[in-house]
Structure 1
Amino acid sequence: MFSKLGLGDLGTQGLPLDVANRLRRGQLRGTIEQMRVMLLGNTLFAPALSMNAWGQGRDVLVVLWTTFIILFSWWIFYSWSKTYRTTGSTVDMRGFVIQTFFNALTWTVGMALFYPIVEGDQKAIITTIMAGSLALGTAGFSHAPVAGITYLAVQTIGNSIIALICGLTTGTSTDYLLAVLTIAAGISLFNATLQGAKAARVAFDNHERLSEKSEVVELLLKDYEEQATEWLWQTDQEGLLLSAPAQVLEMCFPLAEEENNTNLFNLLAASCTEAAANDIERLQAAVFEKSEFHDVRLSIKSPVDGELRWILMKGRPQFEHGKFQGFRGIFADATAAVVAERQVQFLASFDGLTALLNRNSVQKRLSELHDEGTGEGRYAAALLVDLDGFKQVNDSYGHHTGDLLLKHVAERMQKTVTGKSWVARLGGDEFFVMLQNNEPLSAAEISWTAQSICEQLSQPVKVEEFVVQVTASIGISRFPEDTREGTELLSLSDMALYEAKNAGRDRITFFDVEMQDRLTERTTIIERLKLAVRHGKIEPYYQSQHALSDGSLVGFEALARWKDDRLGFVRPDVFIPIAEQTGLIVELGEQLLRRACEDAKKWGELMPEAPPVISVNISPVQFARTDVTGLVSRVLHETGLSPEQLEVEVTEGVLIASKEKIAATLQELSEIGISIALDDFGTGYSSLSYLKDLPLNRLKIDQSFVRDLSQAATSPIVSTIIQLGHNLDLSVIAEGVENEADVERLSELGCDDGQGYLYSRPMTREAADSYVSEIAFQASHQ
């Protein structure tokens, strides 16, 4: 209706259904509250109008109309009692408007029946009653604009038409004037009704926006109360609850049926665990003294879920005009802080994965060990246990599986110790077992325990869907036999463990003094080796390689040699493994490669027709930690050496460690033009698949086979290696050639090249330069 009149902002179009219902409900209820008195007034106004029309020949109609309007008014009165409970539906509003229409129509019918038959004062009284009905009804129905305008339109149009017809019939100017005044009054009342409706709609919209904001604020406050970790509380002077957070009350056992009669402090005292006894006493003392209190930590076991929670409480007494009113304060959820604090305390002494003692606890307990008097546990044995093959488990199955395996290991180790003995995890796959006794521990007893540990740990264990098996190496030191300082036991056991690892793993080794000497020597070598690598003190020595057929020079092998100012000559089999273990081999290997390529470049210029090839060994550590292809390419570019003059040597051990990665790198080197040699073939993990799948160019026969070449058992092995190499289109070179007999025998077997003392000992760079120069000179004068 309003949209057709251009007043769409007064209707419900575009409003959500719930909002439209609230708007209609408010309009209906406001109108009903205002109009009930008017309906009751109909029982007075209708007889008054009828009395003025009585005796004019229509008495029957007067009685019928009066009876109808009184009964209709009372029916509407009672029906509105039901409508007042409306939800604001369009059906209820439509019914209400229809009732309003018939109410207005009934009065208009009365006007039509009685106005034309009266004269003088009676007409004036009827006109006054009808005007009052129009004004009061329109004002009363204004809360519901649709009903108000309906009422106004029916009476204005009906009454003005009746007055106009009477004027046309009788020719009385008063009737014309009444028709005009009725229309003017209707327009005026319509405008007033419209303005009132607009004002009511603005008020409704403002109320809706305010309600929406209030709902958001209420939701936010509710969410804050649910999510917050701090809450207010308050008691009266007797300690009875005035307000307290539901989060805290839910954790407490109620002392009374009604919350308002509950003493907060008694409630907390009854609900807290024994761990909070001291804090409860402090709280009760503060309450008794009416003094301020802080940081009262209460531990409560929730009856809801059985979880232990901690609450931090503080409060302050409230006074008004010097009279005590009660306490007010704050509860704070300290559960997360306490759990974190305890976790930190736990991790300070225990391992987070296995819950065993950690390194800090081990150091502390070792520092408390002494050999004075006859105290308990003054004799001890320290067992340092390291898992063999744990890295492969991590690499193969993942760190999650490795962690689960460590838990199984911890459980098994704890089963092997009793009495005063204890187990700890130092980190990674290292464990520590401390055997303590009041009497000296024999080597047999200690060995029996260590062997039990090894046997337990070597048993296969099912970890999720995998079956995993590892072994253990154990280093052992004793107190006070090996040291009188408990803190030294760990380092002594570590030395023994190092020996056990070097001896082949899955071993038990006791500490002895020689280990200390070896460790000191090793430490010295490491420190001097760092300086030597840093300053380039490790030099390449070269041993020549020759064709067995005519003895012509075909190349050199670069060998690392180190002469230290303090240590003298250090053997390669001593410092090379240390360099690999410490990672120094990466820098050292690059230095040796660069120098060898620089020297080979010079030799190639001296022998351009047959430039000697330089053979350089690449360590497994270099393959694992560096981009070998990138390194070699860069050195070749910087030195200007042709790739065909460089040969890279690898051992079978390198291939075992990471075949796929090494194979890819060797393929890249081969594509550049670099030769690949397999060193010491036959001494390690010999496999035909390596020879078939890798881009090899040459096999090197280890000197141990050449040295025993005269023995019947060795010759077939050498012959087989040579034939195998040739069948795979590989050249073969033998190391350790020391005499002509070796040359003759190797030549008979078909070996291509030889290297050994027969031709030259390893020589310095200068000596190698002279060696090549002499050969080049002889070749030029032939």
Structure 2
Amino acid sequence: MIREGECGAFNPLILECLTAVAGDLEKRLNHGITGREISIDSLHLSEATLDNGDAEASSRTLELLDYERMNYFFASMSNEVQFEFTEEPPMIVLSDWSDHKLDLPEIVMDPYNDEAFCATFGKENLEKLSRLLRATTIDDPVIDMEMEATVGDELRWFHVLARALWSGPSDPVYLGSIGKLIDVDDRQAELIDLQFKAYHDPLTEVVNGAFARKIIAERLGSGEACDRHRDRHVLALCDLDFFKQANDTYGHQFGDRVLKHFAERLQESVRGEDVVARVGGDEFLLCMECPVDPRPLIDRIHRSLEGDFEGFPLSVSMGVAIAGSDVRDYDELFRRADVALYHKKRGGRSGYVFYSDLDEEERDLLLEGAHTALSGIDRDESDQ
């Protein structure tokens, strides 16, 4: 059919190559020859055929063959999967890196319905990639995205860079795509680790004060969409009484273990969506949504925190402020909890005080003496 022109116009060099392998092609395919081996044989055959061609055509074609060799070389040396996808017939050709890394053949027919191919890349990921490619244009054909793929028994992140192929320019039809998938899992893990370190306290691994402020400020909100009568939050500052004695008596390494233990107890005493943060040396913050009376909740949390750790008694003072219709600002809420905590520390420690239980005179007097955790002053040290 090709020789008789029924399949369109072909380059004469391609016709010579096809004619030369016609007698041997069926035998090779029946022996399970891989796409990679076909490519190598074709390169060798093409070079032999070019010996009889004109010089200009031979030079240009040899350049293309060398370029093809380089593509295979660099694909094998890097964590990349190069691919070519055709719409009709639906088929994807993968670089040989995929064979030993992804355990996929180099040629996959009907990849969107191939069980092994979909298991590796995920049906939803493939559908998203297809939508993005089909949404491109001739003038803007490139897309990039990140997706997870199964490599061995683990999920790894890949960066996908692909270019859609369109017929055109009039009435363009989507023909397929070319592109590559780059293994970026190690880089992704480093990024996640850096983000974790930026938002969390390095010792206790709860969130730090700056990130807690951002989260709580967003939750408190200030727009009309927020129901200020039903959406009530409780902010509590928790301070370990006499923590300085733990460092002075048993050493700072022991003190660090006390802080880590206390942070774990805090997290165990609240829900997963509640905020637990370290905002000072031995001072921690809790923020919880609580549309009902918060006193039973605070009482339960306080009782769960006190006890001992390796013989060191754990005594906890708490100052509590409620965000409701009268206050939605994080800084004001923090200030109120801090004033209540200072009142408790001065009044004997080991317990909790609600800011709303203080009268106006007490609030004004305490405001001048209260020191927030952000000032870096140890409360126990200043009280003694």
User: TM-score scaled to structure 2, two decimals?
Assistant: 0.56
Structure 1 vs Structure 2: percent identity of aligned residues? 22
Correspondence for 1:386: 239
Residues 1:518 and 2:368 are matched in the alignment: no
Question: Is residue 317–residue 328 contact of structure 1 (8 Å, CA) maintained in 2?
Answer: yes
1:476/1:272 Cα in 2 relative to 1: closer, same or farther (>3 Å)? same
Contact 1:496–1:515 (CA<8 Å) still a contact in 2? no
Q: Is 1:279 equivalent to 2:128 in the alignment?
A: yes
1:376 to 230, 244, 260: 230
Match of 1:244 in 2: 95
CA distance in 2, matches of 1:333, 1:421: 33
1:659-690 CA distances to partner (integer Å, 9 max, x unpaired)? xxxxxxxxxxxxxxxxxxxxxxxxxxxxxxxx
Q: Work out whether residues 384 and 497 of structure 1, in 8 Å CA contact, stay in contact via their aligned partners in 2.
A: yes
For residues 678-697 of structure 1, the aligned pairs below 5 Å read none
- Helix, strand or coil at the partner of 1:484: coil
Letter in 2 for 1:307: L
Pairwise CA RMSD: 5.0
Residue of structure 1 equivalent to 2:181: 331
Could you say if the C-alpha distance between residues 339 and 275 of structure 1 is closer, same or farther in structure 2, counting changes exceeding 3 Å? farther
Q: Secondary structure at the match of 1:307?
A: strand
Show structure 1 runs of 5+ residues with no match. 1-220, 527-580, 583-619, 622-652, 654-782
Q: Does the CA-based 8 Å contact 2:133-2:164 persist in structure 1?
A: no
> Residue 500 of structure 1 aligns with which residue?
344
Q: Distance in 1 between matches of 2:312 and 2:347?
A: 24
- 1:243: how far off? 4.7
What is the CA-CA distance between 1:491 and the residue it aligns to?
Answer: 0.9
Q: Deviations over 1:377-398 (max 9, x none)?
A: 34x4432112234455567454
Q: Does the alignment pair 1:361 with 2:194?
A: no
Q: Which amino acid aligns with 1:432?
A: L
1: CA distance between counterparts of 2:100 and 2:229? 53
Structure 2 SS opposite 1:456: helix
- Equivalences for 1:42-121 in 2 at 5 Å? none
For 2:130 and 2:84, the matched residues in 1 are separated by 20
How far apart, CA to CA, are the structure 2 residues paired with 1:389 and 1:229?
A: 55
Match of residue 259, structure 1, among 93, 100, 106: 106
Larger Rg: 1
Query: 2:269 aligned with 1:422, yes or no?
Result: no
Q: Residue 349 of structure 1 contacts residue 360 of structure 1 at CA under 8 Å; is this kept in 2? A: no
Is the CA contact (8 Å cut-off) linking 2:241 and 2:314 kept in structure 1? yes
* Distance change in 2, residues 1:277/1:503 (3 Å): farther
Closer/same/farther in 2, CA of residues 312 and 403 from structure 1, 3 Å limit: farther
Separation of aligned partners in 1, 2:145 and 2:178? 14
Change (3 A) 1:325 1:367: closer
Q: 1:454 to 1:318 in 2, by over 3 A?
A: closer
Q: Is the 8 A contact 2:236 2:286 kept in 1?
A: yes
- Figure out how many residues of one structure are paired with residues of the other and give that number: 290
Q: Secondary structure at the match of 2:350?
A: coil
Structure 1 or 2: more helix by fraction:
1
CA distance in 1, matches of 2:223, 2:366: 24
Check whether the contact 1:276–1:297 (CA below 8 A) recurs between aligned residues. Answer: no
Structure 1 position 484 matched with structure 2 position 336: no
2:4 maps to which residue? Answer: none
User: Which letter does structure 2 place at the counterpart of 1:331?
Assistant: L
> Highest relative contact order (Cα 8 Å, sep 6+), 1 or 2?
2
Cα deviations by residue, 1:522-566 (Å, 9 ceiling, x for unpaired): 49xx9xxxxxxxxxxxxxxxxxxxxxxxxxxxxxxxxxxxxxxxx
CA–CA distance in 2 between the matches of 1:292 and 1:231?
20
**Distance in 2 between the 1:250 and 1:372 partners?**
54
Specify the code of the residue in structure 1 equivalent to 2:181.
F
Question: Partners of 1:227 and 1:398 in 2: how far apart?
Answer: 49
Q: What is the 5 A alignment of 1:185-584?
A: 228-230=78-80, 232-234=82-84, 238=89, 240=91, 242-246=93-97, 248-250=98-100, 252=102, 254=104, 259-260=106-107, 262=109, 269-273=118-122, 276=125, 279-282=128-131, 285=134, 292-302=141-151, 304-315=152-163, 317=165, 327-339=177-189, 353-355=204-206, 358-368=212-222, 375-378=229-232, 380-391=233-244, 393=246, 396-398=250-252, 405-417=258-270, 422-428=274-280, 429-439=282-292, 441=293, 446=295, 448-461=296-309, 468-480=312-324, 483-487=326-330, 488-511=332-355, 512=358, 513-522=360-369
Take 1:480 and 1:284, find their aligned partners in 2: how far apart are those partners?
A: 49
Q: Distance in 2 between matches of 1:374 and 1:287?
A: 45
* Mapped partners of 2:127, 2:195: distance in 1: 21
Structure 1 residue 477 displacement after superposition = 2.2
* Offset of residue 329 of structure 1: 2.8
2-structure distance, mates of 1:369, 1:290 = 42
Deviations 1:438-465 (A, max 9, x none): 44x2xxx62x54443333222224xxxx
Number of the residue aligned with 1:585: none
In the TM superposition, 1:632-671 aligns within 5 A as none
Q: Normalising to structure 1: TM-score of the pair?
A: 0.30
- Spell out, residue by residue over 1:554-587, the C-alpha distance to the aligned partner (whole angstroms, 9 max, x if none): xxxxxxxxxxxxxxxxxxxxxxxxxxx69xxxxx
Q: Is the 1:473–1:506 Cα contact (8 Å) retained in structure 2? A: yes
**Residues 410 and 344 from structure 1, CA distance in 2 versus in 1: closer, same or farther, beyond 3 angstroms?**
same
> Aligned equivalents of 1:371 and 1:291: distance in 2?
39
